[in-house]
Amino acid sequence: MGELETSKVLNQELDLIKGGDTRWGSHYKSFGNFISNFASIVDVLDTLVANASTPDERASASGFLRSCQTFETVFFFHLMTDVLRITYELNVSLQKKEQDIANVMTLVKVCKRRLQALRDNEWDSLLEKHSGWDSLKGKRQM
């Protein structure tokens, strides 16, 4: 649709990460990419439903479409993106071969404080951000 620059390297940044990738950073990127590509994902699923060659394919695509458009799914992706954003530096630090334990302990404390702040102060704003989800479903926004 001409909305994104195209090249092999650029497109890799927007891909959904393979299920076998287990690093938390890749999950963080996958959630962000799902959110930013949400409208395109819904369009593809709509096309699959409309052009399915068998009833099983149509049912499967329709089920995926309904699942990804629920409040719970949208909320989950945004919540996990926030949680993984908070813990990203700690995860990167823990993956280093040589590690400074004092630095790791400091990062653990920072993560705990930020997660507690998310729980105490940002939970309501996260819910409010998605409270109008049912009205947005038709607009295909996330």
Per-residue pLDDT tens over the stretch 81-107:
888 888 887 887 888 878 788 888 998
Per-residue pLDDT tens over the stretch 40-52:
999 999 999 999 9
> Does the residue 1 lie in any domain?
no
CA distances from 82 to 2, 4, 17, 20, 27 (A): 29, 25, 18, 22, 12
pLDDT confidence of 24, banded at 50, 70, 90? low
Distance, in Å, from the CA atom of 88 to the CA atom of 107, rounded to the nearest integer, reads 10
> Does the residue 129 lie in any domain?
yes
Q: Are 99 and 93 in contact (CB under 8 A)?
A: yes
State how many domains the chain has. Answer: 1
- What is residue 132's predicted lDDT score, i.e. its pLDDT? 54
Residue 2 region, left (φ>0) first, then alpha (ψ -120 to 50), else beta?
left
> Does the residue 89 lie in any domain?
yes
Structure tokens at 56: 């099983």
> Does the residue 3 lie in any domain?
no
> Does the residue 86 lie in any domain?
yes
Domain that holds residue 129: 8-139
Tell whether the model's pLDDT for residue 30 goes beyond 80.
Answer: yes
> Does the residue 48 lie in any domain?
yes
- What is residue 136's predicted lDDT score, i.e. its pLDDT? 44
- What is residue 134's predicted lDDT score, i.e. its pLDDT? 46
pLDDT confidence of 119, banded at 50, 70, 90? confident
pLDDT-above-70 percentage for the chain: 73
Specify the higher pLDDT residue, 41 or 126: 41
Tell whether the model's pLDDT for residue 13 goes beyond 80.
Answer: no
